[in-house]
Amino acid sequence: MDELDLVIVGGCGHVGLPLALALADSGYQVGINDIDQTKIEMVRSGHVPFRETGADELLARLLPTGRLELSRDASMLERTRIVVLVIGTPIDEFMNPSVRIFDHVLDELTPHIQRGTLVILRSTVFPGTTETVERRLRAAGIEADVAFCPERIAEGHALEELRSLPQLVGVTSDGAFESARKLFERLGVSSVVRTTPLEAELAKLFTNTWRYMKFAIANQFFQIANRSGLDYNRVLDAIRHDYPRAADLPGPGFAAGPCLLKDTMQLSAFTPDHFPMGQAAMQVNEGLPGYIIDTLNSRRPLLGRTVGILGMAFKGESDDPRASLSYKLRKLAQFKGAKVLCTDPFIVDETFEPLDKVLRESEVLVVGAPHRAYRGLELDGREIVDIWGITGPIRL
């Protein structure tokens, strides 16, 4: 069989597939390796398994070129000298990094990795993982370079940001840097920044943790003002009005999704003091659904009432429910005895209801995700919680 320029392991996911499309569009012969046969068949038939701006059109254009090859078989890796692993380090139920999945995947792939291969770790990993992988490969008799080249895109905008953002390349050798640099420069990235592997690993964790902490302070400010009986819109307007040093203060909202909490907790596990500022941010962000439900219940008990949640994705205009705090909101409302109706325009779930039914039957409406579909709704003066401000002013 023909050689492949590279193989992306985990290539049908939110990180791997946009990268595969972008690289194939740049002329590379790209192998996509994934264990999910359903997603493989979807991609082969021209359907992207998730919402990603421009991806459906690009996939339709690329499939006839033959520059994309999909397979579940790890032997695909034997036909290339560049392997991109889109396998991250999740956290377990105790908020500690779990490397079991990563180790299992590496054990399965190692027999197929060829001598002289550049292995690129793309997803966020626990600090030190890059060098550990390189040692494991060499212990198995495979002379391979391992680089950490983190993705830093916003989900839903990957195809644009893959080309417009700088690419970090964490390596220990000049040869590995040159190989990685050539790969990403062909995408047209704005620049390539060389670091050590540990520097790149920490840079990715610091980036996501900083964003998570900014959301936490915004949510804490909101709660302080709300508890004081103030209209937070007036406070926020006063802070931001013609004052550039406050321009980066975000509004409140659910800080969720597959990365921010996970990466903050990985940093907490890495440092001996357990990162108390990150722990505090986690408590604020993860506690926001509880604050909303407790506030509603204190005004009028939720027992026997119907609560409608508008949006179950972890962010607006997304179909990704991973780590969405809307599900925690639903559970807490049910604990208080409420009947909860959920709806989302992008997520297919047989337990969800159509928007019109949720609007018609709910006594209290809570905006869980700021989808544009919720702008301009006729709410008939009903009780609504919208900490995002998508339906009007921020309100609880």
The CATH number assigned to the domain holding 361 equals: 3.40.50.720
Q: What is the largest CA-CA distance in the chain?
A: 69
- Mark whether 34 and 115 lie in a shared domain: yes
Check pLDDT > 90 for residue 89: no
Within a domain: 222: yes
**Spatial CA neighbour of 168 closest among 148, 154, 183:** 148
d(CA 287, CA 250): 18
State residue 45's pLDDT score: 97
State residue 92's pLDDT score: 77
Check pLDDT > 80 for residue 177: yes
- Mark whether 180 and 249 lie in a shared domain: no
Top pLDDT among 382 and 375 is at 375
Within a domain: 392: no
- Mark whether 227 and 184 lie in a shared domain: no
**Spatial CA neighbour of 393 closest among 257, 178, 235:** 235
Percent of the chain with pLDDT over 70: 100
Check pLDDT > 80 for residue 366: yes
- Mark whether 375 and 247 lie in a shared domain: yes
> pLDDT tens across 180-223, in order?
999 999 999 989 999 999 999 999 999 999 999 999 999 999 99
Distance of CA 143 to the CA centre of its chain: 32
> pLDDT tens across 297-339, in order?
999 999 999 999 999 999 999 999 999 999 999 999 999 999 9
> pLDDT tens across 38-84, in order?
999 999 999 999 999 999 999 999 999 999 999 999 999 999 999 99
- Mark whether 243 and 347 lie in a shared domain: yes
State residue 285's pLDDT score: 98
- Mark whether 126 and 260 lie in a shared domain: no
- Mark whether 233 and 322 lie in a shared domain: yes
Taking all residues of the chain, what is their mean pLDDT, rounded to a whole number?
A: 95
Task: Find the mean pLDDT for residues 120-125.
Answer: 94
> pLDDT tens across 9-51, in order?
999 999 999 999 999 999 999 999 999 999 999 999 999 999 9
d(CA 156, CA 201): 23
Residue-range definition of the domain harbouring residue 101:
6-195
Within a domain: 344: yes
- Mark whether 261 and 366 lie in a shared domain: yes
State residue 102's pLDDT score: 81
* Domain end marker among 163, 195, 227: 195
Within a domain: 297: yes
**Side-by-side strand order, sheet with 145-148:** 68-71, 30-33, 6-9, 82-85, 118-121, 145-148, 167-170, 192-195
Within a domain: 59: yes
- Mark whether 112 and 15 lie in a shared domain: yes
Check residue 286 and report its DSSP letter: H
State residue 376's pLDDT score: 86
Within a domain: 200: no
- Mark whether 69 and 148 lie in a shared domain: yes
The number of folded domains in the chain is 2
- The two structure tokens encoding residue 164: 């417009």
- Mark whether 30 and 130 lie in a shared domain: yes
Element (H, E) at 197: helix 197-227
Check pLDDT > 80 for residue 91: no
> pLDDT tens across 126-160, in order?
999 999 999 999 999 999 999 999 999 999 999 99
Residue corresponding to tokens 């290539």 = 11
- Mark whether 172 and 272 lie in a shared domain: no
Within a domain: 131: yes
Within a domain: 1: no
